Chain A
Amino acid sequence: MIRQSRLSGLPESNPTRAEGLLSDMHLDLPLLTGLILLCGFGLLVLYSASGQDVAQIERQLVRMALGFTSMVILAQAPPASLRRWSPWLFGASILLLLAVLVAGKMGKGAQRWLDLGFFRFQPSELTKLAVPMVVAWFLAEKALPPQWKRLLIAGLMILIPVLLIAKQPDLGTSLLVASAGIFVLFLAGLSWRFIGGMILVAIPSAWALWEWGMRDYQRNRVLTFLNPESDPLGTGYHIIQSKIAIGSGGLYGKGWLNGTQSHLEFLPERTTDFIFAVIAEEHGFFGILVLLSLYLFIIMRGLFIAAQAQDTYGRLLGGALILVFFVYLFVNTGMVSGILPVVGVPLPLVSYWGTSIVTIMAGFGILMSIHTHRKLLPT
């Protein structure tokens, strides 16, 4: 209890100067430590995966700096303000998504970017924060667990941006946005009966869609999506090479900068989607265990912060954000190790994947804000 209160920067402890600075800046030391370690490890891996491309490392460093800056900025904003901004942010992100859609139509082709001249902005990234915020805001207004009517409205708040992003098309991001919203619902106490009911409806309707709703080529697409190795020259090639990279890493790995699958370019997308395979190849099973421990530490700390939050909005938002972070991790590693279909989701904070780093770090800024703006309550 003493440790916790010290780290949360509460005044009754006897903080050192550094800790005092951290608490002044509304930062959470364990989370910050975890994030810095993860980013540092990510840079080392990227250095190897990129073929020791210093320019790429510099660009990643710039993104990380942007990410940490947005984290610090958001950590200063009290949760109450965040809560007030939530509907406006959501509205703005929907408008931006529509703008991307229109721009894409005019530009003849799929588009995810909005070119602001000096800066290319991806509205779907903003949605990753806006959707859980607005749902948390909406649900926190009334007592929990939510009623059916409110659930339906919250569902629409999730569905609209998800469909807009899926239309770009960006399956990975729409999946992440959807899960962010659904996690808020789940944490708000969505009844188990409802969850079970949804599953019961989903399975037969999926079957019906398969049986009657699809043509053969569509079924084939689904099959390759579910089992990429049936298409060894297409998406299957990625998975096959990725599994070879992971498997050949063994217990201890081939050593940093010594991964043959990555350095001889057998592994595609080795700095982005498949960077996890590079880690597994070069650092082996033990390296992976270390990496997963780091992630688990961050996730568990995040869940703890959410559970410690003093209001429903903070709890729901914080919990949802950290669960989405886990979804990033699991969808990416599951894909790379061949137990999940191929969906373009980065390994959080490690993949060379620009805007996602900023969004994720912003999410951690919100978590820190929730944790450090608590008021002392009598217990």
Chain B
Amino acid sequence: MPQITLKNYLRESRLFRHRALTAAVVILILVVILILRLQQLQITDHSHFTTLSRENRVKVVPLPPTRGLIYDRTGVLLAENLPAHSLEIIPEQVQDLEQTLTDLAEIITVEESDLKRFERLRKQRRRFDSIPLRIRLDEDEVARFAVNRHRFPGVDIQAKLLREYPIADQTGHVLGYVGRISEKELQEIDPSNYSGTSYIGKNGIEKTYEDQLHGMVGVQHVEVNALGRVIRVLESQPPVPGEDIYLTIDAGLQNVAMNAFGEENGAAVAIDPQNGNVLTLVSKPGFNPNLFVEGISPTDYQALQESGDKPLFNRALRGQYPPGSTVKPFLGLAGLETGTIYYNQKKFCPGFFQLPNHSHKYRDWKKWGHGSVNLEDAIVQSCDVFYYDLAYQLGIDKMQSFMSRFGFGEPTGVDLVGELPGLMPSREWKKEKRRAPWYPGETLITGIGQGYFLTTPLQLASATATLSMHGQKHKPRMVQARKRPDEPIQILPPEPTDALPIQSDHNWDDVIHAMSQVIEGPRGTAKLIRTESYRIAGKTGTAQVFTVKQEEEYDEDKIDKKMRDHALFIAFAPVEHPRIAVAVLVENGGHGGSVAAPIAKQIMDHYLLGSSQ
């Protein structure tokens, strides 16, 4: 028996050793497989996984640049950035958003419109983006939230800079405003440069000079953990702030012009004829651009939209009005320069004009006529019959080609978005747009600045400046200097001069003399504004409203006022060396000489004499 046991023992021991050896070999093979796998991960694909690891932990946070400031020509601040506190929520980090919003409403004021905006932004943005719920928290609200902050993970107060327009009502139409970037704008901008930016210029200077004002985004590489919380800053490239812009606009002049309108609505534009600098650009009523910065509330917007005064409508830039008699100096010059008439050539004004073989009477504004008038009389007294005759002799083609030189019928090219071109009618235009031939009668009413003829106040001011400079034409401009960060102020060279063709300098002097008599002559239509301080050359105008093709519907109770004529006045001064050219339009103001001219006078006084108060 012991023999058998021993044999058994040896056999079993051998069997076991064999199996153990097999197991050892299998173990080694498996360990080698494991090592090969680790070699693949840690050596072969090391750089790939290093990248993934870095992408995991390093997040690039954009640092938005500070928007450039806007100053007027004298250094008055027109647009600045003020710190404001906003309450922002990162949806991803909030467990129960509904409950959080309800709880927050107990601490700070949350209005329906705030919630709506929040919902809208939440859909547009990513879950880990910070979305503002309330903006411009007051100090009490900031303090109340700070105390309760522990209750609201994922909710925090952000201090940021908000655009602010200190003299909002007077500069709204010039500056425009910034607002939150819309879906459409998102398509057009460089997404990386705007990655940290919430606002974009929507209108006016803010939009035109968006690229300069915005600046360059900076980046910060931060280390985050799996929850997205920032652990530390790895590296940082600071943003480049936007450029500061110095406008040609004079804030004081803007104020004077705005106030000069009193209760009236309208527009005034003043240009420095020497260089095209726009000194003032006023459209009344103005509006408060600050309302738009954080998204205007529906009630505010409705109020602006529904106001019969249309405060959002930039009359100076986009208002297209018949120029009326203000075209007379230009057309008179056309008559002289084309040799159609000479300066002292007299015509008899019986109070009406008739085309040959037509019975229709084209009436003068003075029922009984001006009698025998030359060009100077026609300008000074604004005789229509003289101009019916001149227009008849010139014909629409010559008129159109001459007037176009002054920029009528096309945008001036000012550096403001949204400018409209007005309308200088021609045969081609009528054939194309109206599918009708040009009638001789239309030539006549074009000759007194009515009919299809439309201009913007800016165009009128620009044309007046060009006239005052004997055809030295400058493109109007709004910006005269800029300041890049860490650089001195850089004065921008004036726009190059474009010299209009001139037949005779005398013709220009004659017309300018006639314009000076509008103010200085005993029968001048604007003799009211005569001053001893400096000499003014100007021309009044009255635009008949019933010919105005405007899309607006007037309120019934205002219809009387709205049917009154628009009062116009163009002028420049001093006559000898023009420093300011002005165009004033008073909507439904009546007569140019009595309503519009005094406004222009106040503007010129302030600019040429200093404070007129």
Contacts and interface: CB of A to CB of B under 8 A. Distances in A.
A288 B227 contact: no
A373 to B, nearest CB: 17
A299 interface: yes
A280 B35 CA distance: 12
Interface string B24-56: 100110110111011101110110111011101
Interface stretch (B12-20, B442-450, B462-470, B593-601): B12-20
Given A247-B48, A319-B16, A330-B30, A339 B226 contact: no
A164 interface: no
B52 A248 contact: yes
Given A300-B24, A337-B34, A187 B16 contact: yes
Interface in A38-90: none
Nearest to A252: B42
A265 B35 contact: no
B16 A289 contact: no
Contact of B49 (A246, A296, A333): A246
**Most chain-A Cβ atoms within 10 A of its Cβ — which of B16, B35, B224, B226?**
B16
Contacts of A339: 33-34, 37
Contacts of B19: 186-187, 189, 319
A250 interface: yes
A315 B57 CA distance: 51
A337 B38 contact: yes
Contacts of A143: 8, 12
Contacts of A316: 16
Contact of B15 (A189, A244, A338): A189
B231 interface: yes
A187 B20 contact: yes
**Most chain-A Cβ atoms within 10 A of its Cβ — which of B8, B12, B37?**
B12
Contacts of B48: 247
Interface in A306-326: 306-307, 312, 315-316, 319, 323, 326
A189 B20 CA distance: 10
B94 interface: no
B609 interface: no
A202 B48 CA distance: 39
**Most chain-B Cβ atoms within 10 A of its Cβ — which of A264, A266, A316?**
A264
Interface string B214-257: 00000000011111000100000000000000000000000000
A251 B46 contact: yes
Contact of B53 (A248, A306, A312, A319): A248
Interface residues on A, range: 35 or more
B contact patch SS:
helix
**Most chain-B Cβ atoms within 10 A of its Cβ — which of A186, A248, A261, A280?**
A248
A339 B36 CA distance: 11
A contact patch SS:
helix
Interface in A155-190: 183, 186-187, 189
A338 to B, nearest CB: 8
Given A285-B42, A307-B17, A260 B35 contact: no
Contacts of B56: 241, 244, 260-261, 264, 266
A264 B226 contact: yes
B49 A247 contact: yes
A247 B17 contact: no
B489 interface: no
B189 interface: no
B20 A243 contact: no
A251 B42 CA distance: 6
Interface in B114-130: none
Given A143-B8, A143-B12, A292-B35, A264 B223 contact: yes
Interface string A234-259: 00000001011111111100000000
A243 B46 CA distance: 10
B23 interface: yes
Given A244-B52, A248-B53, A285-B38, A303 B20 contact: yes
Nearest to B27: A326
A290 interface: no
A43 to B, nearest CB: 23
A34 interface: no
B49 A299 contact: no
A365 interface: no
Nearest to A312: B12
B53 A246 contact: no
B41 A145 contact: no
A20 interface: no
B225 A265 contact: yes
Contact of B50 (A189, A247, A319): A247
A323 B21 CA distance: 12
Contacts of B12: 143-144, 189, 312, 315
B207 to A, nearest CB: 43
Contacts of B57: 260-261, 264, 266
A15 interface: no
Given A246-B42, A264-B56, A300-B24, 7 more contacts: A187-B23, A189-B16, A248-B54, A250-B46, A260-B53, A260-B56, A307-B16
List 3 tightest A-B contacts by C-beta distance, closest first: A247-B49, A248-B53, A264-B225
25 contacts: A143-B8, A145-B15, A183-B23, A187-B16, A187-B19, A187-B23, A189-B19, A241-B56, A243-B49, A247-B41, A247-B53, A250-B43, A250-B50, A260-B53, A260-B223, A264-B57, A265-B225, A266-B57, A280-B38, A292-B31, A292-B35, A312-B16, A316-B16, A338-B41, A339-B34
Interface of A: 143-145, 183, 186-187, 189, 241, 243-251, 260-261, 264-266, 280, 284-285, 288-289, 292, 296, 299-300, 303, 306-307, 312, 315-316, 319, 323, 326, 330, 333-334, 337-339
